[in-house]
């Protein structure tokens, strides 16, 4: 869920998980290859493919991963066990 942190703590962007980063990187490389060599659809819409890579990275920064929920306790403190 986007920006869902019901326990308090950090609600802003954070580093994306490895999966989101790799997906964004693959899309960006496809856009770069499409800009350097002719590829059907990719060359014509290269800027949109590059923008899609950026959007995927932003979504990765804003989504809450399972490790985020494990690090945050109910009072919002990280690393404190009660």
Q: Where are the domains of the chain?
A: 25-63
The DSSP bridge partners found for residue 72 are: 78
pLDDT tens-digit profile, the chain (82 residues): 455 555 555 566 778 888 888 999 999 999 999 999 998 888 888 899 999 999 999 988 888 766 655 555 555 555 556 5
Query: What secondary structure does DSSP assign to 43-59, as a single string?
Result: TTTHHHHHHHHHHHHHH
Distance (Å, whole) CA 43 – CA 41: 6
Give the predicted TM-score (pTM) of the model: 0.63
Tell me if 35 sits within 8 A of 51, measured CB to CB: no
């Amino acid at each position: 869920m986007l920006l869902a942190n019901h326990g308090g703590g950090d609600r802003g962007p954070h580093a994306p998980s490895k999966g989101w980063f790799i997906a964004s990187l693959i899309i960006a490389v496809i856009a770069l290859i499409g800009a350097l060599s002719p590829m059907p659809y990719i060359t014509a819409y290269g800027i949109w493919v590059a923008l899609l890579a950026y959007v995927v990275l932003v979504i990765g920064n804003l989504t809450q991963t399972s490790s985020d929920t494990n690090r945050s306790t109910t009072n919002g403190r990280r690393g404190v066990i009660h």
